[in-house]
Chains A and B, each alone.
Chain A
Amino acid sequence: MKPSFLTLLVAGLLGIPALPAADLIEVEPGIVTADLMKRRSSEYDYDVPKPGTYELPVLQPAADGTVLGTNGAPVNLHDLMRGRVVVLSFIYTRCTDPKACMRATGVLSELQRLSRQIPGLADKLLLLTLSFDPAYDSPEVMARYGRVSLAYGNGAEWLFLTARDHKELTPLLTAYGQRVDKRKQADAHGPYYHPLRVYLIDPRQQVRNIYSFGLLDPRLVATDAQTLLMETTAPAR
């Protein structure tokens, strides 16, 4: 979308650096931002592929289970997921490892922001942050965590979830392959040891990609989500 003179002027007044016109995008009438999909960084120093030009094979079925929302209401994951592309991130709020949970939440925040600039994405993308520390991460704690994470109110919906207890949670973690171990010794990074995992799930509740550190480029996740939305037929299981 080519921004109008007026929007460029607004961008200029708001102090957005003078970028080439091609790198600006109008996310709403009157609101211009840099086209984040075109922004490289030293960590992700490449152009993202065009959505729909590649395949994302089915890795595994996305497991179902009962989780709790920030109001404490129980709900089945599949009821939340149905019909939408889902990005599911397992975290715990006591994690202080900058390369792990905070990182994942930061990327979901970025995805929510990106979803505003990609036409049709915000309505069809669901972001889920699910705690694997139900003893500490009560619905109230997840609500607080959500308040500081949600920044882009008109982007994709983002829900913050926890579980009633480990008994309900463990089968879910096992099915997704999200390993979580209680540390035997105190550690500044928090009481749990876990690999960073973020899952991309298609509208048929199948896992289509798994991201970790080094692959968790929000632009790639957004492109993958668009790729899934462009599929017209179900891929072979």
Chain B
Amino acid sequence: MVRLNTSAATTPVERLRINQHNPSFNSKSLMKTVSVNRFAGSRWSRAITLLGAALVATTPLFADETCTSPYMPKITGQEEFIYVWTLGVDGWGDGSDKVVTVDVKPGSPTYGQIVASASVGGRHEAHHGGFTDDRRELWVSGLDTSHIFIFDVATDPAKPRLKKTIKDFAKKTGVVGPHGFYALPGRMLVPGLSNAKDKGGRTAIVEYSNEGKHVATHWMPTDARPQGAHIEKMADGYGYDARVLPRKNVMLSASFTGWKNYMRPFGELVQDAEAMQHFGQTMTLWNFHTRQPKKVFHVPGAPLEIRWAWGPKHNYAFTATALTSKLWLVFEDARGEWQASEVGHIGPEGSGVLPVDISVSADDRLLFVSCFGDGKVRVFDVSNPHRPKQIYEETIGRQVNMVSQSWDGKRIYFTTSLLANWDKQGDDNEQFLKAYEWNGQELKHQFTVDFRDQRVGRPHMMHFGSASLYQ
């Protein structure tokens, strides 16, 4: 096939092709496939040959926080800020949900203090969020109103600025409760919690472009509509977290409960046996590239956060079930089949401690589990992922929810709020961000920002920021 057109050019494409380099390979020789070696002395050719001629193995792009999307740029040093997506409380300040910036840069005159606060106006049941793949924007959402708030964190990393609000998420997608925000190149993966039709637990994973345009909606498989997935026991169609292991082209999603349950006062909800039936019992493994569900695992007790291991050969993820206090492992077995198995109990046997967040260390050795029920963090040695062993526990407060750790594993941060109607009452309703150092054996308290005393709100999701990302 001759592509070079040296005759009189008539079209723009042909004009361009004149003198466009086209190597004069003899197409009948396999040698042409190595002709690039003619340029073997070139820096470009060496690199390109090395990188392209084989599907080479390279180190994955690590994020600093150990629980974020692998597609984002990394903070190479110390995090400078923590952005805290905070629920508004009636009578506290403007009463609105807000993104609060805490200065965590050691040596800073405002270390351990709130340095900025950006209100979104109104209470939306602030919950989770995530950066875009270029880390220039932070998307956060409200589980009640299904509004999505997009903050610019690049222009002034100390002061996130609300630049856009998406208000028609539920109307456009039929999904209620946009829960997570997982960065993909040029787009955001947004697993939901509920649906607009009955506000129950059936939901979908939605995709938006970074520009805020709806791209696709992938409904979770159900018994009635399995979409080709193998179902272990049942497919409830519920959702919560969704995370990707690119190396294996798999995505894993978990399951919680619908709007009708998560907006109800917790004390009232647990007395309603019928309502308590409507909690997630499944995890779904997807072909990530095709977004097609492949297998629905039976994982009873509301499996929440998913953490893939980081090691280049570690084909497994952890989750914790909130209602049954179990650690589960989803792993690829020796035959290449994906399986889910219960690998341990969290807290005293026979008791429930409501594990709500987990964080795996960058070396895949430790798993931090924060337990809302008794306000403790429990640290498991997960060197053998099939046999986690608790090695440490510490009381963080009367309630604790999210846990985030730095990439080097030395700094661990906690916040307290679970859901506005599920947080504890009275004196037990502590609301803070606490920072600790982990020395390999124990946690050492560094500072506390008391969100209740300062009448800021209920702190929930934490994300790390740094001006160094935008140099």
Contact = CB atoms under 8 A, between A and B. Distances in A.
Interface in A168-201: 177, 179, 181, 183-185, 193, 195, 197
Interface in B1-35: 1, 3, 11-13, 15-25, 27-28, 30, 32-35
B51 A71 contact: no
A153 B51 contact: no
Contacts of A98: 47, 51, 58
A110 to B, nearest CB: 5
B44 A148 contact: yes
B247 A59 contact: no
Nearest to A179: B134
The SS class assigned to the B binding surface is loop
A156 to B, nearest CB: 9
11 contacts: A30-B28, A31-B28, A41-B55, A54-B291, A102-B47, A113-B33, A150-B23, A151-B32, A152-B25, A179-B134, A220-B289
Interface in B51-70: 51-58, 60-61, 70
Contacts of A110: 52-53, 55
Interface range on chain A (Cβ under 8 Å from partner)? 35 or more
Interface stretch (A17-25, A75-83, A130-138): A75-83
Given A60-B213, A93-B44, A102-B44, A211 B185 contact: yes
Interface range on chain B (Cβ under 8 Å from partner)? 35 or more
Contacts of A42: 57, 247, 312-313
A120 interface: no
A154 B134 contact: no
Contact of B290 (A14, A54, A160, A217): A54
Contacts of A60: 209, 211, 213
| Residue of B16, B36, B248 with most partner-chain A CB within 10 A | B16
B270 interface: no
Nearest to A157: B3
Contacts of A48: 289
Given A71-B18, A214-B71, A53 B290 contact: yes
The 4 closest A-B pairs by CB, nearest first: A106-B52, A106-B51, A54-B290, A210-B186
Contacts of A108: 52
A159 B20 contact: yes
Given A59-B215, A75-B16, A110-B55, A213 B61 contact: yes
A73 B18 contact: yes
B50 interface: yes
Nearest to B31: A14
Interface in B277-312: 287, 289-292, 312
B16 A69 contact: yes
A49 interface: yes
B58 A99 contact: yes
B21 A160 contact: yes
Interface in B421-453: none
A175 to B, nearest CB: 10
B471 A184 contact: yes
Given A99-B58, A110-B53, A148 B36 contact: yes
B384 interface: no
B20 A70 contact: yes
B39 A43 contact: no
